[in-house]
Amino acid sequence: MTSWRETASAECQADLDELLNAALPFAQQMLAKHGEFFPYAVAMNRDGQIAMIAGYTGTEQPPSADVLAVLYDGLRAKADENRGAAVVADVRLRGEATDAIQIEAEHREGIALKVFLPYRKGAAGGPLETGQMRAEPGEQRIWSHS
């Protein structure tokens, strides 16, 4: 199987690495502090600047699917201004009976990845225990390439 790194430019590889490095710590911090988090996004503009993005649906406790829809709509609307983005969600891994931080990262070059970091909440406020991070091909949702 061909790795995404074999087909991506050096800029794309660096951008996606930077997006993942920017996206993951906030999720880990929220899980350690609150035991959960709402989906959020990280975008990289054309100049390489990173910004965190929240999705507001108008309600205090919205379903995660609604927040994800708002985030993706917003990222698509600003696609011309960005060169990469990552959307982060707290998910349950089917068939594995574990939770995971899911990061769907996408680059304007057409590379899309889905990264999972399984985790288990520490006992009585203890540290977050994480498993082995893994990646698989993702779905292009922001930049569509024909």
Residue 142 belongs to some domain of the structure: no
Residue 40 belongs to some domain of the structure: yes
Residue 76 sits in which domain range?
4-137
Residue 117 belongs to some domain of the structure: yes
Overall domain count for the chain: 1
Residue 62 belongs to some domain of the structure: yes
Mean pLDDT of the chain: 90
Q: Please answer whether residues 40 and 54 qualify as being in contact, where contact means their C-beta atoms are separated by less than 8 angstroms.
A: yes
Residue 146 belongs to some domain of the structure: no
Residue 143 belongs to some domain of the structure: no
If residue 90 lies in a helix (H) or strand (E), which one and from where to where?
strand 82-93
If residue 17 lies in a helix (H) or strand (E), which one and from where to where?
helix 10-34
Sign of torsion, CA 28 29 30 32? positive
Q: Which residue has the tokens 């993706």?
A: 72
Specify the pLDDT at position 128.
83
pTM: 0.91
Residue 78 belongs to some domain of the structure: yes
Residues in the chain: 146
Which of 87 and 127 is assigned the larger pLDDT?
A: 87
At 29-83, the pLDDT tens digits run 989 888 889 999 999 999 999 999 999 888 888 889 999 999 999 999 999 999 9
CA distance 52 to 41: 6
Residue 17 belongs to some domain of the structure: yes
